[in-house]
């Protein structure tokens, strides 16, 4: 039986239909080397598996202010699952999207604050697969055991990477970023958060060149570091003088140096830990 409750908004009343579960979609893909998920509301969990098969499970849930709005949302919001060559793509579409260029994350019709169309994804991915993951609200992203390159972003949620050995990019706005590596990154890698700590665990013997920045936080490292000179990103000539402007990052070298690891925090601490 559908639950109902009354909410007082100012001096008026509105009917709250509440969260309603939708269908669970499960699909298996063969020969997968790349997985893309473009979500809006909901989490994304990815775990590694052997072979080249990927299994994707998407669980729907809807929330609306009225029964009519709920029925409309069920009609308007669609999940598109497709495979092109070795790349699998999951795309959540609806009136909250704009008709923009490919990759443009603009928004369409303004939604009511009572409306939410949520998809929570669980994915079993080939261990070597590359990941491109995006979500916005209630957007926790969790990845475990992948070796491929990763490109991960969310807005309102944390990111956790466990037992990783690839390199890539992980960024959120409101939440922590935590990563633990089974093997140290071999290529350029970056991590960022505006409102959350960044906690990174590397293997002993790490050799890397770090670029670090935080505003309302501290930086801690288990590894011995040597300072590197600030990097000039802009030069300007004023008469006989040259003015160099820095990008605000602090440079530090661990070991003999190596791949660049960029860590950009703002309102949180940065921790670089030795996973021995």
Tell me whether residue 71 is in a domain.
yes
Tell me whether residue 239 is in a domain.
no
> How far is 116 from 40, CA to CA, in rounded Å?
10
Tally the domains of the chain: 1
Coil/strand/helix, residue 109: coil
Contact (CB, 8 A) for 188 and 149: no
Tell me whether residue 52 is in a domain.
yes
pTM of structure: 0.85
Tens-digit pLDDT profile for residues 25-35: 999 999 999 99
> How far is 22 from 61, CA to CA, in rounded Å?
5
Tell me whether residue 225 is in a domain.
no
pLDDT average, residue stretch 4-29: 55
Tell me whether residue 116 is in a domain.
yes
Host domain of residue 129: 18-208+262-274
Tell me whether residue 35 is in a domain.
yes
Contact (CB, 8 A) for 158 and 142: no
Contact (CB, 8 A) for 52 and 63: no
Tell me whether residue 256 is in a domain.
no
Q: Is 148 left (phi over 0), alpha (psi -120 to 50) or beta?
A: beta
> How far is 2 from 141, CA to CA, in rounded Å?
30
Q: Name the strand (E) or helix (H) holding 174.
A: strand 168-174
Tell me whether residue 228 is in a domain.
no
Predicted confidence (pLDDT) at residue 241 exceeds the cutoff of 90: no
* CA–CA distances in Å: residue 50 to residues 54, 113, 163: 9, 42, 15
Tens-digit pLDDT profile for residues 196-208: 999 999 999 999 9
Proportion of the chain above pLDDT 70, given as a percent: 82
Contact (CB, 8 A) for 15 and 65: yes
Token pair, residue 39, equals 């979500």
- The angle formed by the CA atoms of residues 89, 92 and 95, to the nearest 5 degrees, is 145
Predicted confidence (pLDDT) at residue 20 exceeds the cutoff of 90: no
């Amino acid at each position: 039986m559908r639950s109902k409750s009354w909410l007082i908004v100012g001096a008026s009343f509105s009917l709250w239909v509440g969260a309603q579960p939708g269908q669970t979609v499960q699909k298996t893909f063969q020969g997968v080397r790349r997985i893309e998920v473009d979500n809006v509301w909901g989490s994304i969990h990815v775990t590694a598996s052997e072979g080249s098969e990927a299994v994707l499970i998407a669980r729907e849930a809807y929330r609306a202010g009225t029964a009519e709005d709920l029925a409309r949302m069920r009609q308007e919001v669609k999940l598109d699952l497709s495979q092109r060559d070795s790349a699998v793509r999951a795309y959540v579409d609806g009136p909250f999207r704009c008709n923009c260029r490919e990759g443009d994350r603009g928004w369409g019709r303004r939604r009511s604050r009572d409306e939410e169309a949520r998809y929570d994804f669980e994915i079993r991915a080939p261990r070597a697969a590359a990941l491109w993951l995006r979500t916005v609200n209630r957007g926790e992203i969790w990845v475990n055991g992948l070796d491929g390159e990763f490109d991960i972003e969310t807005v309102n949620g944390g990111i956790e990477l466990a037992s990783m050995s690839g390199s890539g990019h992980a960024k959120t706005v409101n939440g922590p970023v935590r990563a633990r590596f089974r093997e140290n990154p071999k290529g350029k890698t970056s991590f960022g958060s505006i409102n959350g700590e960044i906690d990174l665990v590397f293997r002993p013997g790490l050799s890397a060149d770090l670029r670090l920045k935080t505003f309302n936080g501290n930086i801690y490292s288990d590894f011995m570091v040597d300072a590197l000179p600030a990097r000039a990103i802009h030069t300007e000539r004023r008469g006989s003088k040259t003015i160099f402007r820095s990008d605000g990052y602090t440079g530090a070298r661990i070991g003999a140096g190596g791949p660049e690891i960029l860590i950009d925090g703002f309102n949180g601490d940065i921790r670089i830990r030795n996973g021995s």
